[in-house]
Amino acid sequence: MGLILFGLYFWWQLNHTTAQPSALIGASAIALFFLTAGIGPILRDLASGSVMMAEQWYGVGDHVRLEPFADLQGVVERVTLRSTRIRGLNGEIIWVNNQNIQGVRIAPRGIRTIALELFVTNRQAGEQLIDDTNARLPVGSLLLVSPLAIIEIAQVGDSLWQITAVGETAPGREWLIEKSAVELIQHLDEQLPKSVLAHGPLARYADKEAEKRFKRTITNARKKPVKRKIVTRPRRPLVGN
């Protein structure tokens, strides 16, 4: 509204020959200020959107979490040079100006992969705990995408086995495995005539690609010799000498 008023004022000054030159200059400066203030945010949005598209930060269909917003996450529905439209897990549609996006977290394949580590004193009973837990967890595209599957069983001691089970959830539903599945396993173990759970379950992220990258990093770090600097300290004189 202010820009329109100053535009009218500038037009009036321009069409009246009796107006002072200083008034024309002042009106031009004020109009330019408001014009820059109005167009500046749009230009910043366009510049940010152009860079993000050129670097391919994300695309339609990706599940993202935008920084610095704490709870702003969902599936990208539309991307333009000026804004991004996201649909949250609760169905809300969220519009975000591109200049306000400082960083993006993208869920690989749109899911979260979580592993549970169980230490049990009876192998068969431990496997049955996983099966009974799966029967009590909700499965769906917005819930537990893939039920817990045992991928490794290793005997780590006398009558002690480590069972690794991996499941997949929708982003934001990690609590189905990290909390609900853990509590279910502990509850089912308490119902047994003799408890078989020695330790755990311990929940952790289990992305295969991330594990490969970190394994490579650790391997490369071990190849480099660590140079240790020996610091010599001057001897202190003995008391009494």
Using CA atoms, how far residue 198 sits from 87, 178, 203, in Å, is 43, 18, 15
Report the DSSP pairing between strands 197-205 and 93-97. Answer: unpaired
Q: How far apart are CA 124 and CA 137, in angstroms?
A: 21
Is the CA virtual torsion 214, 218, 224, 225 positive or negative? Answer: positive
> Residue 36: pLDDT above 80?
no
User: Which residue ranges make up each domain of the chain?
Assistant: 2-53, 55-108, 110-207
What architecture is domain 55-108? Roll (2.30)
Q: Which pLDDT score, from 0 to 100, does residue 132 have?
A: 92
- Please name the residue ranges forming H helices in 21-85: 21-55
Question: What is the helix (H) or strand (E) element at residue 220, kind and residue range?
Answer: helix 208-223
> Residue 2: pLDDT above 60?
no
Beta bridge mates, 205: 114
Query: Per mean pLDDT, which range of 51-60, 91-100, 223-232 is the poorest?
Result: 223-232
Task: Say if 55-108 and 110-207 have the same CATH topology.
Answer: no
110-207 domain in CATH 3.40.120.10? no
Q: Which pLDDT score, from 0 to 100, does residue 183 have?
A: 92
More confident residue, 32 or 181: 181
